[in-house]
Amino acid sequence: MVRKILIVGAGKSTSFLLDYLLEKSETENIKITIGDLDTSAISENIKSHLNCSVIALDIFKDNERISAIQEADLVISMLPARFHIKIAEDCLTYKKHLVTASYISPELNKLNEKVKESGLVFMNEIGLDPGIDHMSAMQVIDRIREQGGKILLFESFCGGLVAPEYDNNLWNYKFTWNPRNVVLAGQGGTAKFIQEGTYKYIPYHKLFRRTEFFEVEGYGKFEGYANRDSLNYREAYSLQDALTIYRGTMRRVGFSKAWNIFVQLGATDDTYTIESSEDMTYREFINLFLPYSPTDSVELKLRHYLKIDQDDSTWEKLVELNLFDNSKKIGIPNATPAQALQKILEDQWTLKDKEKDMIVMYHKFGYELKGEKKQIDSKLVVIGEDRVHTAMAKTVGLPVAIAALKILNGKITTPGVQIPIAKEVYEPILKELETLGVNFKEYEVPYLGYNPDSVAS
């Protein structure tokens, strides 16, 4: 019997997802339907595949959305998280399994009991971060507990970066996923976590000056800044007794200090629009946030305003972005500061066709076993193939695809709105990911606890 999978959304993270499912379509007896508002970006190789059909789909048109979902056995939503609820409600109504790579929203979580009663699997947070981070962390945590160990410390960092051979700008960074999310990172709340049994909070305006540093063998030094809420998974991971829980985002050393310039300027604000932004030059945009002076240049005002010393390497990073160019224009009507900044950054940080990205993930597990304190560091590096088949698309799309097939094949059966923290889910998925080049290396290191000397003031 043919099984049908509907994939809603065909954005940047779907290349490996589509390739995997279409490659398996004959042996697994599945047909794939891809629904997207704009189907023009979908490659001809995908469109012409015998087991694939492509439809124009506007999820805000109820008839289109419902009709497509009714035809499927399982739905994969690769839309932005805020749109999942429409898909989820239909999946519940028409008794279809659902897989997403996004965080579970409160609205989606409210469906949990009804989803359980219907015997459906609504698997969420099954991409990279969230996703592979959950599965790889729980695999080690469960192993330590099975040996009789007690978790004292859990830290987890993840970053989408540029591969070393294409790391050719002063920021050591290029966009590998949604640029808007990068510009808005850290906003909307205070970062909170726990260190050595004490709750800690970092407001947005201080976030990028409180970084932890670490090294990944063969790839050099990195820094990490705190995610918004590191305590979200304390209960899910059963880490209520852990003294340190800290989740963060990885960048190359020096990125956060330079990014903090934009934060302090107010250039990452997304709450208001700028008059005459369409014809505004990059230089004029920067000048918006600086005090008036009849004599001082924009450069001089910026140096004075944010106390950037002559010998501070951060300055060269700003110059490299053409921030002071008086000919390049924002070109976006009624842009917010964040939208204008994103346009400036995309000029410099967009991957070229043959360039490759890199995913880095780093877990630290501190634990006590038979009266002795120990630590395991677990590290993952994945290099992309090109601008389409990125490491980001691989690490987001493959877990989604594998989970979808496991659900269809009755290998993942526990019903409900959930994340991939059960052995039933993470063991087979991580095992298959290893065969596809997504595998962690573990290192036993001396237990240090949380090291306050690694945090910048």
Q: Are residues 147 and 271 in the same domain?
A: yes
Q: Is-contact 404 74, C-beta < 8 A? A: yes
| Encoded tokens for 232 | 């979200």
Of 227, 155, 162, 156, the C-alpha closest to 196 is: 155
**Domain-located, residue 198:** yes
Domain boundary among 124, 153, 181: 124
pLDDT confidence of residue 456: 42
**Domain-located, residue 290:** yes
Q: Mean pLDDT throughout 352-372?
A: 95
Q: How many Å apart are CA 395 and CA 20, to the nearest integer?
A: 12
**Domain-located, residue 319:** yes
Range of the domain at 164: 128-389+438-457
Q: Are residues 336 and 279 in the same domain?
A: yes
**Domain-located, residue 433:** no
**Domain-located, residue 208:** yes
Q: Determine which of 36-40, 51-55, 277-281, 376-380 has the lowest per-residue pLDDT on average.
A: 36-40
Q: Are residues 327 and 383 in the same domain?
A: yes
What's the pLDDT tens digit per position in 173-184? 999 888 999 999
Count the domains in the chain. 2
| Encoded tokens for 278 | 């369409």
Q: How many Å apart are CA 99 and CA 126, to the nearest integer?
A: 8
pLDDT confidence of residue 457: 35
pLDDT confidence of residue 303: 94
**Domain-located, residue 81:** yes
Q: How many Å apart are CA 418 and CA 420, to the nearest integer?
A: 7
128 DSSP 8-state letter: B
Task: Scan for tokens 């993930």, then name that residue.
Answer: 361
pLDDT confidence of residue 449: 74
**Domain-located, residue 192:** yes
Q: Are residues 156 and 115 in the same domain?
A: no
Q: Mean pLDDT throughout 103-130?
A: 96
